[in-house]
Amino acid sequence: MAYSVTKLDDYSPAALDAAVRDLLSAVTQEAGAVIGENDSKLFRDRWMARKNGILTQINDLWLKAAPGPAKREVGARVNQLKTEVERAVDAAQQRISNSASKSRFDSERLDITLPGIRRPLGAEHPVLRTMNEIVQVFRAMGYSVAEGPEIETDYLNFEALNFPPNHPARDTQDTIFVAGQERKPQRDRLLLRTHTSPVQIRAMMATPPPIRVVVPGKVHRADTADATHSPIFHQVEGLAVDSNITFSDLKGTLDHAMKAFFGSNVKTRFFPSFFPFTEPSADVSVTCFKCGGKGCRLCKMSGWIELLGCGMVDPNVFQFVKSNGYDSRKISGFAFGMGVERIAMLKYGIDDIQLFYQGDVRFLEQFA
Ligand SMILES: [Zn+2]
């Protein structure tokens, strides 16, 4: 039965002590039954609420109702009870909040002996890896590296590279032009570069001869994506200009580069070709690095794989940078270019160029 305050009939010290004992035993017992935040609040209200808490009741029913001579004895005991009850209420509350924080601590406890979460290490993308490897071959031969913007002017992408004004490569089927430039003169119109060659012009505009520069980068064409075409791909081009540079230097350089890249058994072969910016021009094939030249599916049984284009820089191109010392009567040079994806596909035996761009980890982790 819950404790309730009753009026006192007997104000003798012995009777007062007995009433105090009953009350203290009740508060102790109730304090022990408090097991949660809610209990603790109810317990505090029951005993200490200003309006009708038990302490208020004993103040009214015991002290105020006491006859004059007994007030002193009653007052002393009521004060003592207040202190005891407050202590019991505080202690109960403390116990509850300790156990709440302990259980939170237990639930949030870190087990430092558990193994951690292992983050997989990233790896170079096969296209960038191939591009860096090609660049490295030329760096080792003393070439410096140049890069340029992907948005270029028609002038740098075509005109300064000796493309005549109505060359079909400008056709929007091949070249992606920035929209809304019809009022501009053609040479000022902006486009997504279709090759890294404009960087060769930029390099010659910035540096007088001699120059040896290799140009890696991303290029864009309005091609439909399929197993061998992508509207975005990567190239590495190179340019060497000096006095007395001959086609033999070009052959020797590319032969060395292909051996450095594919292995010393590889042979190179040059076929006549055409590019607007080189004269004469050549396509370069290497002996198939799968069958060694015997003939297999990769090389379509020919024993050779066509890998890059090259040639002697057309004197017309030097005209555009003549003011920076490129006088075609005194200097000559060669240029070459290759598609990075094509080389990576051949090197790693990949039959679909789209695999490079799909971001499928199952494909990419093979190169990690
Ligand atoms: Zn082969």
pLDDT at position 147:
96
254 Cα to the center of ligand 1, angstroms: 20
255 Cα to the center of ligand 1, angstroms: 18
User: Tokens 């350089």 correspond to what residue?
Assistant: 253
Closest among 185, 182, 183 to 159, alpha carbons compared: 185
pLDDT at position 247:
97
287 Cα to the center of ligand 1, angstroms: 8
What percentage of residues in the chain have a pLDDT greater than 70? Answer: 99
Q: What is the pTM of this model?
A: 0.68
pLDDT at position 1:
67
pLDDT, greater one: 255 or 289: 255
How many Cβ atoms from other residues are within 10 Å of residue 130's Cβ? Answer: 25
Segment 126-145, tens digit of pLDDT: 999 999 999 999 999 999 99
Closest among 245, 241, 268 to 338, alpha carbons compared: 268
Kindly report the three-state secondary structure assignment for every residue of 29-50.
HHHHHCCCHHHHHHHHHHHHCC
Query: For 245, phi and psi rounded to 5 degrees?
Result: -85, 130
220 Cα to the center of ligand 1, angstroms: 30
297 Cα to the center of ligand 1, angstroms: 6
What percentage of residues in the chain have a pLDDT greater than 90? Answer: 63
User: Tokens 């009741």 correspond to what residue?
Assistant: 57
pLDDT category at 7 given cuts 50, 70, 90 is: confident
263 Cα to the center of ligand 1, angstroms: 15
pLDDT at 146 exceeding the cut of 80: yes
